[in-house]
Amino acid sequence: MNDWTAGYRADITYTHGYYPELNPARMALPLLKAGIVPPSVTNACELGFGQGVSINVHAAAGAARWYGTDFNPAQAGYARSLAAAAGSPAALHDEAFEQFCQRDDLPEFDFIALHGIWSWISDTNRQHIVDLLARRLRVGGVLYISYNTQPGWAAFAPLRHLLHAHAETLAAPGRNIEDRIGDAIGFAERLMDTNPAYARANPQIAERLKKLREQNRQYLAHEYFNASWQPMHVDTLADWLAPARLTFACSAHPLDTVDSINLTDDQQQLLRDIPDPLLRESTRDFMVNQQFRRDYWIKGRRELDALTRLEALRDLSVVLVTPADDVPLKVNGALGEATLTESVYAPVLRQLGDHRPRRLGELETSLADHGLNLPQLVEVATILSGAGHLHLVQPDTRATTDSCGKLNRALMKQARGAGSVAHLASPVTGGGLSVGRFAQLFLLAREAGYQTPKDWAHYAWDLLNAQGQRLVRDGAPIESAQDNLAELEAQALTFDEKALPALLALGVAV
């Protein structure tokens, strides 16, 4: 492996994923729930932005000026192409953390984010990041950080070590990382077939190994096959961040904040008896066997008084991004599947079913006859946002319409050849919405003047057929042109009925 990689995988690019937690507009609800003043975000930074889908969506759709770096030049080049297409002023670099964090032309940031990177880099690079946080995160600013944690990785960590060792030790010269990953998984499967004591002591490992074989090799390369790989307890992370004067604020994953779906009554009582917040978080991780944390940390935590907090919560605007009829009244937590109370959720979904923004205070007034109060509405918003059905609305929903349109058109043009990016930017939410490849092709057809779902399906099929591409049903390609077209027509009708109204209301479609 080349020295410039510092042990991080650079021989295969990362996936083109979008990560909504990197959107600073999302943090108002969890911070206000925790009684903390959320910052106003003027300048934001993402460290290790991968292919740059998230940072470009947020730069095009949100109000903040974005800066970031990813040391893989192929990924940085792609990210810059998206910024250019959107006309975004995002400053995207291809520098290692040491170079980027020592730059003297960076502003003070209100929001700094890194997704997963912390778990996969060396201690030296972690120190560079902490130095940046100390020097460039503004007082009152927020760090979003997601990372692998214990005890959730305790059982699998030894096997991950073996997989990495096999890929590095027994790989034939010149063999690419995808093949080496397959060989390492095959070796681990042979090991499991010998019924080792490790597998008997950890019976869940065999199923987890089976799932690895089915996963994207790009994802596996970066998740499991970096030289540095360290799940970290939350209190250990606190020790790392202490020199930057950051304190834990709250989870950035809304569902993690809902105790009723994650913890038994006895567990909740035990946590209430723990006065130290970090010990409480560490203990909670044992209760849910936490494997991956998504957290907000803040430099200079300011508490809100009860009245100001309630006023701020009432002023939050939310929007439903899923058709109301398609929102299941079920949610998964650490305790399993929980059923949501229909008398609470159905009236809210009816109010929000037109995909227009509403303040929580408006909902409180309009739903008073249903017996719903603000604390209930806050929990509804928390659960629906955690499940991906509801987003917060940014204050000015018109300022970024043009840049969103430019970025979305660039992404939709890419969808003609491949479905790598499955999200488009919304000026209403300041973030991305899930829009699959075929839906993007239907939007392109509309922009080209095609009027009906049947016309959109023919437009999409002409593009796919010219490239020899076929749709897949039940894991197998659909062979005949007639069947492919019929499947696309069915999808276009569903898109027209269900998805399109939301995309129009959210400024993604025009």
Tell me: do 139 and 273 sit in the same domain. yes
Strand partners, 453: none
> Which of these three, 358, 392, 426, is where a domain ends?
392
CA gap 150, 141 in Å, rounded: 27
- Using a 10 angstrom Cβ sphere, with 0-12 exposed, 13-18 middle and 19 or more buried, the burial of residue 242 is exposed
Rounded Cα gap, residues 219 and 225, in angstroms: 10
The residue length of the chain stands at: 510
Residues 102 and 248 in one domain: yes
In this predicted model, what pLDDT tens digit does every residue of 425-453 receive, in sequence order? 999 999 999 999 999 999 999 999 999 99
H helices of 62-176, where?
73-86, 97-101, 123-136, 157-169
Per the domain annotation, does 466 fall within a domain?
Answer: yes
> Do 44 and 8 fall within a single domain?
yes
- Residue 431 · residue 27 · CB < 8 Å: no
Pair 323, 498: CB distance under 8 Å? yes
Residue 355 has pLDDT above 80, yes or no: yes
- Render pLDDT for 115-126 as a digit per residue (tens, 0 to 9): 989 999 999 999
Residues 22 and 90 in one domain: yes
Question: Does 510 reside within a domain?
Answer: no
Average pLDDT over residues 383-402: 94
**Given CA atoms 416, 91, 317, 404 in this order, what sign does their dihedral have?**
negative
The C-alpha angle with vertex 431 and arms to 429 and 433, in degrees rounded to 5, equals 90
How confident is the model over 289-304, as pLDDT tens digits? 999 999 999 999 999 9
Q: How far apart are CA 336 and CA 263, in angstroms?
A: 10
d(CA 485, CA 465) in angstroms, rounded, equals 10
- Band of residue 287 on the pLDDT scale cut at 50, 70, 90: very high
What local confidence, expressed as pLDDT, does residue 14 receive?
Answer: 66
Q: What is the reported pLDDT for 5?
A: 52
- Phi and psi at residue 446, to the nearest 5°: -60, -45
CB 233 within 8 A of CB 149: yes
Q: In which band, very low, low, confident or very high, does the pLDDT at 217 lie, cut at 50, 70 and 90?
A: confident
36 and 127 share a domain?
yes
Q: Mean pLDDT over residues 207-217, rounded? A: 86
Q: Which residues of 268-307 are buried (b: 16+ CB within 10 A; e: fewer)?
A: eeebeeeeeebebbbebbebbebbebbbbbbbebeebeee
φ, ψ (nearest 5 deg) of residue 320: -85, 130
Tokens of 78: 């792609």
**33 lies in the same domain as 96:** yes
Query: Above 70 in pLDDT, residue 13?
Result: no
DSSP H helices, 273-356, are 277-288, 306-315, 342-352
Residues 261 and 277 in one domain: yes
CB 13 within 8 A of CB 84: no
Helix then strand count (H, E) for the chain reads: 22, 16
Tell me the Cα Rg of the chain: 24
Q: What domain range includes position 431?
A: 401-505
pLDDT at residue 208 in the model: 87
Q: Do 246 and 179 share a structural domain?
A: no
Write down which residue in 206, 224, 242 finishes a domain. 224
Read off the pLDDT of each residue in 392-413 and give the average, rounded to a whole number.
94
What is the 8-class DSSP label of residue 40? P
pTM value is 0.92
pLDDT (tens digit per residue) in 43-76 = 999 999 999 999 999 999 999 999 999 989 999 9
CA distances from 434 to 133, 492, 502 (A): 31, 16, 11
Is residue 70 domain-resident? Answer: yes
Q: Flag whether 11 is in a domain.
A: yes
pLDDT at 216: 83
**33 in Cβ contact with 378 (< 8 Å):** yes
Average pLDDT, the chain: 93
Q: Provide the domain count of the chain.
A: 4
Give yes or no: residues 47 and 101 share one domain: yes
CATH number of the domain that 94 lies in? 3.40.50.150
Q: Is it the case that residue 7 has pLDDT exceeding 80?
A: no
The pLDDT confidence band at residue 8, using thresholds 50, 70 and 90, is very low
Answer yes or no: is 453 within a domain: yes
Torsion of CA 13, 14, 16, 19, to 10 degrees: -160
pLDDT at position 397 = 82
Judge contact between 34 and 249, C-beta under 8 A: yes
Of the candidates 176, 193, 224, which is a domain's last residue?
224
Give the pair of three-digit tokens for residue 124: 């030296």
The Cα 165–Cα 173 span in angstroms is 15
Closest by CA to 423, choosing from 440, 406, 441, 402, is 440
The answer to whether residue 94 is domain-embedded is yes
Query: Do 368 and 477 have their domain in common?
Result: no
Pairing of strands 292-298, 137-148: antiparallel
pLDDT tens column, 171-203: 777 678 888 888 889 999 999 999 999 999 999
> Does 350 reside within a domain?
yes
Q: Which residue has the tokens 């898109």?
A: 495
Strand 91-93 and strand 65-69: the pairing is parallel
CA 20 to chain centre: 4
Question: Does 83 score more than 80 pLDDT?
Answer: yes
State the pLDDT at residue 12.
Answer: 54
Domain annotation covers residue 488: yes
Q: How many whole angstroms separate alpha carbon 11 and alpha carbon 179?
A: 12
CB 348 within 8 A of CB 358: no
Q: What pLDDT, in 10s, does the model give residues 126-165? A: 999 999 999 999 999 999 999 999 999 999 999 999 888 8
Tell me what pLDDT residue 9 has: 46
Percent of the chain residues past pLDDT 70, beyond the cut: 97
Task: Give me the pLDDT at residue 285, please.
Answer: 98
Q: Which residue has the tokens 């990197």?
A: 22
Q: Report the pLDDT value the prediction gives residue 89, as an integer from 0 to 100.
A: 94
What pLDDT is recorded for position 175? Answer: 77
Do 91 and 233 sit in the same domain of this protein?
Answer: yes
The percent of residues in the chain predicted with pLDDT above 90, rounded, is 83
H-only helix segments in 137-233: 157-169, 177-193, 197-201, 205-214, 217-224
Q: From CA 390, how far away is CA 316, in angstroms rounded? A: 12
Would you say 145 and 114 are in contact if contact means Cβ atoms under 8 Å apart?
yes
Looking at the fold, whether 127 and 193 belong to one and the same domain comes out as no
DSSP state of 171: P
Backbone angles phi, psi at 93, to 5 degrees: -115, 160
* Paired residues of 92 in beta bridges: 68
- 3 state DSSP class of 133: helix
**474 pLDDT exceeds 90?**
no
Q: What is the mean pLDDT of residues 468-484?
A: 91
